[in-house]
Copies of this chain bind each other. A is one copy, B any other.
């Protein structure tokens, strides 16, 4: 096959020189970073990237639906004129994202993707920086305040008694570890009672993060909250439950805000 490297190796330094020239010229007016942003996605694509895009376009144009089966790997490879290796890597991405599923000798089928399936692997507290962690906690507040709208639409006696049982258990214990446990249980139950499986999945996905933060509370008291909220929040789970039972939506939103606001000392003093 034709060897580009051998052919162009003499040209490389010229290429570099021109790039440097470009950097120098654009650095003067400070527009380089902007133009670079626009340049990058044009030609920085690997072969697999192109294959992935091509495949996605193919799936869309042929109107593939969940359950439909894809052509064989070899057919795809031959049709696109690339090796099976490259095709497999592109398909591997789809598999990772849950867009397709594959089984031996059954071929590959379009899957019904679980929206938040992949994110659990990404949301490793170890990899997230403090700013993102704070934002996620803030997003939690936003969602749980808004959750009231759905809860007041769908609440029923069975649901309320489930919450009641958790709150009772919580009130009986004094161990910190149990308080944390029931705290998580209470809020998880709220998501469950929303009846919205997508929202519920979202919360389940975030649980490891909260676990991580709770676990580190004793070690680093400056992080995200100075204390376990139950110790100091002016609104308890019992208050929230009573409002769900006998109060109205507006009260619930305000109380939930206050209940979670202890996580944001800095925020509340802005």
Please encode chain A, from 135 to 154, with 1 for each CB lying within 8 Å of some chain B CB and 0 for all others.
11011011111110110011
The oligomer's copy count stands at 2
Min CB distance A199 to B, Å, is 5
CB pair A122–B99 under 8 Å, yes or no, is yes
CB pair B115–A122 under 8 Å, yes or no, is yes
Min CB distance A50 to B, Å, is 15
Query: Whole-angstrom distance between the alpha carbons of A89 and B112 in the complex?
Result: 22
CB pair B98–A122 under 8 Å, yes or no, is yes
Contact of A119 among B92, B96, B116, B253 (CB under 8 A): B116
Min CB distance A100 to B, Å, is 10
Query: Whole-angstrom distance between the alpha carbons of A92 and B89 in the complex?
Result: 7
Point out the residues of chain B lying under 8 angstroms from A89, CB to CB. 88-89, 92
Q: Considering the complex, which residues of chain A in the window 111-142 have a beta carbon less than 8 Å from any beta carbon of chain B?
A: 112-113, 115-119, 121-124, 126-129, 131-132, 135-136, 138-139, 141-142
Contact of A150 among B132, B138, B150, B198 (CB under 8 A): B138
CB pair B119–A199 under 8 Å, yes or no, is no
Interface size on A, residues (CB 8 A): 59
Contact of A127 among B92, B99, B136 (CB under 8 A): B99
Point out the residues of chain B lying under 8 angstroms from A66, CB to CB. 127, 129
Query: Whole-angstrom distance between the alpha carbons of A110 and B142 in the complex?
Result: 30
Point out the residues of chain B lying under 8 angstroms from A149, CB to CB. 141-142, 145, 257
| Chain A to chain B contacts (Cβ below 8 Å), 17 pairs | A88-B89, A92-B92, A96-B96, A96-B97, A98-B122, A99-B122, A113-B127, A115-B132, A116-B119, A131-B197, A135-B199, A139-B199, A142-B147, A142-B149, A143-B146, A146-B253, A154-B270
Interface pairs A-B: 8 shortest CB-CB? A146-B146, A142-B146, A135-B198, A145-B146, A96-B96, A93-B96, A113-B122, A135-B196
